[in-house]
Structure 1
Amino acid sequence: MFNEQLSLPLVLINLLGVAGIIVWHLQGRGRPTARLVVQILFFARMTAVLALAGILPHRVEETHLTGTTAFLSISARVLWWTHLAWTLIGFVRIYIVLERRPREARLLQDLIVAVVYLAVALSILGFVFKAPIGTLVATSGVVAIIFGLALQNTLGDVFSGIALTLGRPFVIGDWIVLSDGTEGRVIENNWRSTFLLTGAHNVVVLPNSALAKVGLTNLSRPDETHQITLLVRIAATHRPQLVEEAMRTALQDCTRIVQDPPPIVALKGIDAVAVETELQFRVTSPADRTPARNEVIDLVHRHCRESGLSLAMPPQSYLYAMPGVGEVKLRSSGSL
């Protein structure tokens, strides 16, 4: 009598579990949201049937069951635990989709998926098949130690990748500069490496363990605009006010720089040779630095000629008289 009362819920759970797998696969990968909804709906129905029938998936009390009923009991619990794993993973993926960070959170998602599958596998072995979980955990711990020693560098990259994902010093699409001068846009971040697309259109592959140890500057935060400074030396025979006006007009005529906030003309110093002027302006992204700088230099040159301003010699060049010779030579201690 007990077997007959239990058989119908077990059959229903098995049918729901198999049907859920079939429908989930028929949805296809092109409809991820629909697949997740199917997972959750079938798992909820299986759980409701278990609750109404008084069956506890984490306890094996029907030890007297035999034959087909025993098989249905085992398969029903296995299917329930499997759908539980898929439902938990589904909630994780729904959160990532809603947060609109599917690429940046891929490492964290993979880690959670691995933990869920491992926990469910151990639960099935222990609660369904009555396997000695303690022995399995101890054995797997020894195996994990052996693999950890053999794969120290790889594991270092993996955990560094997880730390970078959690800390989020950058995301996919950010332009970063490392302390050694390497710079580029982050195009991919996986378990082992981070890929940068440089301004020369080359891809630099950086191990996560090495990236976690160096300092970096994120040029995309708080926004993508990037400031550039350009030093201009005008002959000291001209009034500083005229120099400032000419430089300001040149920056206002530039179309490749950001005008809000407006560029700044700073008079940095003056001596007998030159008035030093520093031009501070922003570009929309680090990739626009070179064309913007070229345009600013061209406009500065043009406005200097139109205003009658003369460029001064660089500070590395100076005149000196050779003792006892009486002739004057031009010496340069650096490149112009």
Structure 2
Amino acid sequence: MLNEDHMMPLVLTNILGIAGIVVWHLQGSNRPTGRLIAQILFFIGMSFTLYLGGIAPHRVDGAQLRGLGALLSISARILWWTHLAWAIIGLVHIYMLLNRRPREAHLIQDMAVGVIYLGVVLSIIGFVFGVPVGTLVATSGVVAIIFGLALQNTLGDVFSGIALTLGRAYAIGDWIQLKDGTEGRVVETNWRSTNLLTGGYNVVVVPNSILARQGVTNLSRPDETHQITLTVRIATTTPNFVEQVMRSVLDASTRIVQDPSPIVALNSIDAAAIEVELLFRVESPAGWTAARNEVIDLLYSQCKANGLSLAAPAESLVFDSAAISGEHSARAIEAHSSRAG
């Protein structure tokens, strides 16, 4: 039987442990600081009570494991280890909160919580019930290998998500673009995938392993303004006049950023056309299409008002020259054949 010197500390430890659970639930998840304070206070109280009673929760005492005392001892130690886990988890959450971690840091928090709970469960098995933890770990390792092979793709997504989170390639709210052309604003990240809200207001679910494999272009850093290049060919006329008309197009636009100022670049000139590049910025990737449409509409209106004509693409001119050259060659062959006849 458990002696009377140990009975009272065990009873008090159980009372404190159960009271701590009740207070933990009453605090609610919306008060993390209050929860953490309650967890730490109850854990200190339980530790102090066990210390005064000469009971070490991290050691197995076979002499005490009899009758009612055995149940009190087991429950007290389990409650002590549980409150230890909660106190550590609370400290991790407060650390994330004080450092203003982004919401995707919940992935790291979940991983830390899983490691803490795993360590506590193994500690309870080893220190409370006296089961050899080494044998259990070795056996579970074989099972883990089997599950790892079966869940290979899922684990790839999980570890890719961890790598992307640690590398801070993007955050919730960032607009990102993949190499395959997929782009959108990050609205959610979890263990398996990242959800993107596209410009067409569709949610695209991209597995984390694909994100890590393809590479990500973050269009929100250093800010969300982005440069657009629009190329246009104007029938050959005075270059300075073309530049003035193109600049008036950019000045009239209300959907593009005027600081820094948009640029008009005259790329080349030939007998048929002047090739012009309009370089301008938009405030957000979501406004690319609307800004581009407005500039194109203003471009057409200004060219028509100022007597400028749009020229055909250079590729079509090359194609026409080749066709003309082929026609001349055919006629020469035909004329040569008629003379020979």
Question: Is the aligned partner of 1:267 residue 2:266?
Answer: yes
**Structure 1 residues 190 and 65, CA gap change in structure 2 (3 angstroms):** closer
The alignment partner of 2:314 has SS state of coil
- Measured after TM superposition, the shift of residue 62 of structure 1 is 7.0
**In structure 1, what is the equivalent of residue 56 of structure 2?**
56
**Structure 1 residues 117 and 64, CA gap change in structure 2 (3 angstroms):** closer
**In structure 1, what is the equivalent of residue 296 of structure 2?**
297
**In structure 2, what is the equivalent of residue 258 of structure 1?**
257
Counting only pairs closer than 5 Å after superposition, residues 93-242 of structure 1 correspond to structure 2 as 93-101=93-101, 103-238=103-238, 240-242=239-241
- Measured after TM superposition, the shift of residue 251 of structure 1 is 1.3
**In structure 1, what is the equivalent of residue 247 of structure 2?**
248
**In structure 1, what is the equivalent of residue 282 of structure 2?**
283
Greater helix content:
2
Show structure 1 runs of 5+ residues with no match: 327-336
Q: For residues 272 and 30 of structure 2, what CA distance do their matches in structure 1 show?
A: 69
**In structure 1, what is the equivalent of residue 336 of structure 2?**
none
- Measured after TM superposition, the shift of residue 255 of structure 1 is 1.2
Contact 1:230 1:280 in 2 (8 A): yes
Contact 2:64 2:73 in 1 (8 A): no
**Structure 1 residues 19 and 243, CA gap change in structure 2 (3 angstroms):** same
What amino acid does structure 1 have at the position aligned with 2:133? I
Q: For residues 102 and 249 of structure 2, what CA distance do their matches in structure 1 show?
A: 44
Question: Is the aligned partner of 1:323 residue 2:328?
Answer: yes
Q: For residues 305 and 33 of structure 1, what CA distance do their matches in structure 2 show?
A: 67
What amino acid does structure 2 have at the position aligned with 1:195? N
**In structure 2, what is the equivalent of residue 330 of structure 1?**
none
Q: CA RMSD in A?
A: 2.3
Question: Is the aligned partner of 1:22 residue 2:22?
Answer: yes
Greater CA drift, 243-252 or 302-311 = 302-311
- Measured after TM superposition, the shift of residue 54 of structure 1 is 4.1
What amino acid does structure 1 have at the position aligned with 2:192? R
- Measured after TM superposition, the shift of residue 274 of structure 1 is 1.8
Q: For residues 102 and 11 of structure 2, what CA distance do their matches in structure 1 show?
A: 38
Q: For residues 249 and 44 of structure 2, what CA distance do their matches in structure 1 show?
A: 68
What amino acid does structure 1 have at the position aligned with 2:201? H
Question: Over residues 251-281 of structure 1, what are the superposed CA-to-partner deviations in whole Å (9 max), with x where a residue is unaligned?
Answer: 1221111122221112212222222211111
Contact 2:32 2:90 in 1 (8 A): no
**In structure 1, what is the equivalent of residue 91 of structure 2?**
91
Contact 1:194 1:206 in 2 (8 A): yes
Q: Which TM-score applies when normalising by structure 2?
A: 0.86
What amino acid does structure 1 have at the position aligned with 2:292? R
- Measured after TM superposition, the shift of residue 248 of structure 1 is 2.0
The alignment partner of 2:104 has SS state of coil
The alignment partner of 1:268 has SS state of strand
- Measured after TM superposition, the shift of residue 140 of structure 1 is 0.6
The alignment partner of 1:262 has SS state of coil
Q: Which runs of 4+ in 1 moved over 6 A?
A: none
Contact 1:3 1:65 in 2 (8 A): no
Q: For residues 175 and 20 of structure 1, what CA distance do their matches in structure 2 show?
A: 44
**In structure 2, what is the equivalent of residue 332 of structure 1?**
none
Contact 1:105 1:165 in 2 (8 A): yes
Greater CA drift, 37-46 or 302-311 = 302-311
Greater CA drift, 258-267 or 16-25 = 258-267
**In structure 2, what is the equivalent of residue 334 of structure 1?**
none
Q: Which TM-score applies when normalising by structure 1?
A: 0.88
Question: Over residues 55-109 of structure 1, what are the superposed CA-to-partner deviations in whole Å (9 max), with x where a residue is unaligned?
Answer: 3221234724644444323222111100111111112222222334453012222
Q: For residues 13 and 4 of structure 1, what CA distance do their matches in structure 2 show?
A: 15
Q: For residues 19 and 163 of structure 2, what CA distance do their matches in structure 1 show?
A: 39
Q: For residues 283 and 37 of structure 2, what CA distance do their matches in structure 1 show?
A: 41
